[in-house]
Structure 1
């Protein structure tokens, strides 16, 4: 019984100690999500479906992942992980407002 209480106290301590560290990250994600939603509704960024169509025609391959990065209040970049037909993994950055491919880099 003593051992289980001790384990519970240690687990509780680490949970409470980690809470202040995790909270800012969650708050930042929520803020970025709201900024992106607002930018989309105001027409400052293109919908992901539209960006995907542009990317598929200009850069063939299988899309493995996508992130929308905020570069300030009025600047967003879609970052794609793409597996090319020849098996190479690429990172493709696309301007979220114009659908223009900005960079293509090897993803190590």
Structure 2
């Protein structure tokens, strides 16, 4: 599995903001490339991605290896996977509108 560093995620997020907002592909359409494109753009009055990422890294310092943006019953939620210095992967779910951490667990 190829890891994505924070700078690559930032570049991909910046590039994604240049076009029309997009949602993540359907699970049966997710290929190797789609998993590494970064999150879809949030809708409406959600917080900027970099602010949400800062919240995630403050809660779980390390390297962001994967980010998804999903809509759960009308609520946009960022799902972060962060590789901690200890080698453990921390999963965080953060409300895209408020920045509230909804779930945090270690794999």
TM-score range, shorter chain: 0.5 to 0.7
After TM superposition, the score normalised by the length of structure 2 is 0.57
Flag as ranges the 4+ runs of structure 1 deviating above 4 A.
Answer: none
Distance 1:54 1:87, change over 3 A: same
- Structure of higher RCO (CA pairs closer than 8 Å, 6+ residues apart): 2
> Is 1:60 the counterpart of 2:68 in the alignment?
no
Describe the SS at the equivalent of 1:56. helix
Describe the SS at the equivalent of 1:97. coil
Provide structure 1 residue ranges, at least 5 long, that are not aligned to the other structure: 1-24, 30-35
Indicate conservation of the 8 Å contact 2:56/2:80, yes or no.
no
Provide structure 2 residue ranges, at least 5 long, that are not aligned to the other structure: 1-25, 31-39
Q: In the aligned structure 1, how far is the partner of 2:78 from the partner of 2:42?
A: 16
Bigger Rg, structure 1 or 2 = 1
Counterpart in 2 of 1:69?
A: 70
- Residues 1-108 of structure 1: matches in 2 within 5 Å? 25=26, 39=43, 42-43=44-45, 45-73=46-74, 75-107=75-107
Q: Which has the higher helix share?
A: 1
